[in-house]
Structure 1
Amino acid sequence: MSWRWAFARHVAQAQRLLPTSSAGGGTGLLGRHHHHMPLASQIRSKEQQDPFELVADEVSLLVNRLRFMVSAEVPKLASTAEYFFKVGVEGKRFQPTVLLLMASAVKFSLSESTEGKVLSILADKLRSRQQNIAEITEMIHVASLMHDDVLDNADTRCGVRSLNLIKGNKLSVLAGDFLLSRACVALAALGNTEVASLMATTVEHLVTGETMQISTSTEQQRSMEYYLQKTYYKTSSLISNSCKAVAILAGHTAEVSVLAYEYGRNLGLAFQLIDDVLNFTGTSASLGNGSLSHIRHVRITT
């Protein structure tokens, strides 16, 4: 099975992750087994399956590890940092799901002469490192949510009370900083400078995008180019560069890494475009942030 075929198959599955603007549509999420994935032949027979189910067990294990990774010596900081990783608050984990599906799409293929046991060991080691990327990405993402809610003075996040409303702005900011520091430690442990540079750039982009948002002029609000650039920085950069990192760890060529990046970039932009439309047309239940709530701020938020 070629990586091109596998990539196309998993892309088709990942496309079902996008939110829908239809009244009875499925639920999107971005925002808001340590075992191998099924073979392509198995996936082919499950094209209508919810893509979240394909990696549900693996995501569950990943989230459990995240709860352990964000533990802190100071109880108040620990309870604040783990808020979005609690059962009932964690959401459906868009980023980890996409990245684990991408990991299956770009997994390396060794020669047939490679012994089965050796292949299994190498594949397990690679999968573990790709899971690390998913964990790092989720910590960066959750940290950005904590900081965003403070900046936006938000009351809710994904249908639950926002952290800043419960713990206050100071602890929310510190908890976000703490998650970023834990992400840095995990990133350093991977020992890959190219991946480290990619992920560090996404944090820079998050700050740049938020600054663009809070300083948007009236003229810039009407610019699609400005909106797309801001959306890339705030939403799409993290998932696109994380997809690229997953491909790099698998030892793929620049061509494959760029394809993974472009897929993540377009998926992130598409998600945010639909999500922003839902901010104006959806209901409180579907958005978790209150219907038309962003109109009061005279800007589209991500």
Structure 2
Amino acid sequence: MSTDTLAASKSLAPVPKGGLVQSVTDSLTIAKRNLIRMSRIPEMILFGIIQPVMFVVLFTYVFGGSMSVGGSTDPAVYKNFLMAGIFAQTVTFATAGSAAGIADDMQKGLVDRFRSLPMARGAVLTGRTVADLVQTCITLAVLAAVALLVGWRTGSHAPTHIGKVLAAFGLLLLLGYAFTWIGALIGLSVRTPEAATSGGIIWLFPVTFVSNAFVDTSMMTPWLRHVADWNPFSAIVQACRELFGNPGVSPSTAWPMQHPVWASLLWALLIIVVFRTLAVRKYRKAAV
């Protein structure tokens, strides 16, 4: 192909309009596309709901009577202690869906199709993460209803009100959105959706279990408790317990455990900034 032909093809290629408004519009368009796709495959949402419901039932009725929280082995105490951890685990496990979805779009050549349009480069990823956030909202709402049915109650340990409860769910959704950007980067870094699913979930097990989600960290060895206290996942769980008015872990001198709400906000924003930057950069390189 001659130099003149290459120059002509480049001049005919659509150029993104740029600007914040254009980026937001494009992102919402992609989000709508993904939500329509989800509505046509309801099992995607159904299976996403079944797993956390199973965790609620298993941990509540199988392990509830053998877990100690603040020296109490009362199943009702553990039930209220547990739910913040289950909520947080649910929003973070959405990472695997984000990774698999983006990897699937890459494999099917959807990136090439979007590249042929005059749209903001980061809109494809932002739209995908927004759509995943909507799905997480639905899952979290259903899970909260199931938690109430099995006996979870806010204000079981300390006074609370509706504003604090809504703030807790807001923090959970912010954390979930932050983790979808990790999933986006994983999805762009692997070759198949199957690899993305495995890569998107395997690292979440140590993150969620080496934390205060399911056990009181005072029962851990000192070095492991230190790791758990500085785990971003532990901060969001502790913040939700305080806002829900549910029993928490034994006092710790670690800053995230002393100021869990602020720590949760800082961790979530840091994850979004870092992994969104890396994911968009990876997407641009993949689209070249």
TM-score by length of 2: 0.34
Bigger CA radius of gyration = 2
TM-score by length of 1: 0.32
